[in-house]
Chains A and B, each alone.
Chain A
Amino acid sequence: MEKSRVLIVGGTGYIGKRLVKASLAQGHETFVLHRPEIGVDIEKVQLLLSFKEQGARLVSGSFNDHKSLVNAVKLVDVVICAISGVHIRSHQILLQLKLVDAIKEAGNIKRFLPSEFGTDPARMAHALEPGRVTFDDKMVVRKAIQEAHIPFTYISANCFAGYFLGGLCQPGFIIPPMDSVILFGDGNVKAIYVDEDDIAMYTIKTIDDPRTRNKTVYIRPPENILSQREVVQIWEKLIGKELHKSSISAQQFLSSMEGQPYEQQVGMGHYYHVCFEGCLTNFEIGEEGVEACGLYPQIKYTTVQDFMKRYV
Chain B
Amino acid sequence: MGKSKVLVVGGTGYIGRRIVRASLALGHETYVVQRPELSLQIEKLQRLLSFKKQGAHLIEASFNDHKSLVDAVKQVDVVISAISGVHIRSHSITLQLKLVEAIKEAGNVKRFLPSEFGLDPARMGHALEPGRVTFEDKMAVRKAIEEANIPFTYISANLFAGYFAGSLSQMGSFVPPRDKVHLFGDGTLKAIFLDEDDVATYTIKAIDDPRTLNKTLYLRPPENIISQAELIGIWEKLIGKELEKTYIPPEGFLTTLKGLDYKLQVGIGHFYHIFYEGCLANFEIGEEGEEASKLYPEVNYTRMDEYLKIYV
Contact = CB atoms under 8 A, between A and B. Distances in A.
Contact of B53 (A166, A172, A310): A310
Interface in A41-60: 41-43, 45-46, 49, 52-53
6 contacts: A45-B174, A172-B40, A173-B39, A174-B40, A175-B45, A310-B49
Given A52-B310, A53-B310, A40 B42 contact: no
Interface in A132-165: 162-163
Interface string A46-78: 100100110000000000000000000000000
A166 B45 CA distance: 10
A42 B162 contact: yes
B296 interface: no
Contacts of A49: 310-311
Query: What's the dominant secondary structure at chain B's contact region?
Result: helix
Interface in B119-177: 162-163, 166, 172-175
The 3 closest A-B pairs by CB, nearest first: A45-B174, A39-B173, A39-B175
Interface residues of B, number: 20
Interface string A276-312: 0000000000000000000000000000000000110
Given A172-B40, A174-B39, 16 more contacts: A14-B43, A40-B172, A40-B174, A41-B174, A42-B14, A42-B162, A42-B163, A45-B162, A45-B175, A53-B310, A162-B46, A174-B40, A174-B41, A174-B42, A310-B49, A310-B53
Contacts of A310: 49, 52-53
B162 A46 contact: yes
Contact of A45 (B39, B52, B166): B166
Nearest to A48: B175
A118 to B, nearest CB: 15
Contacts of B42: 14, 162-163, 166, 174
Interface in A19-57: 39-43, 45-46, 49, 52-53
Contacts of B46: 162
Contacts of A172: 40
Interface in B44-89: 45-46, 49, 52-53
Contacts of A14: 42-43
A163 B43 CA distance: 11
Nearest to B39: A175
A40 B173 contact: yes
B311 to A, nearest CB: 7
A46 B167 CA distance: 12
Nearest to B14: A42
Contacts of B52: 310
B25 to A, nearest CB: 17
Contacts of A166: 42, 45
Instruction: Pick the most buried of B45, B163, B173, B174: most chain A CB atoms within 10 A of its CB.
Output: B174
A167 to B, nearest CB: 9
B227 to A, nearest CB: 23
Nearest to B310: A49
Nearest to B173: A39
A46 B173 CA distance: 12
Contacts of B162: 42, 45-46
Q: Which of B40, B166, B173, B175 has the most CB of A within 10 A?
A: B175
Contacts of B49: 310-311
A18 to B, nearest CB: 11
B126 to A, nearest CB: 29
Contacts of B163: 42
A302 to B, nearest CB: 13
A241 B188 CA distance: 65
A39, A43, A53, A162 — most chain B CB neighbours (10 Å): A39
Contacts of A174: 39-42, 45
Given A174-B45, A310-B52, A42 B39 contact: no
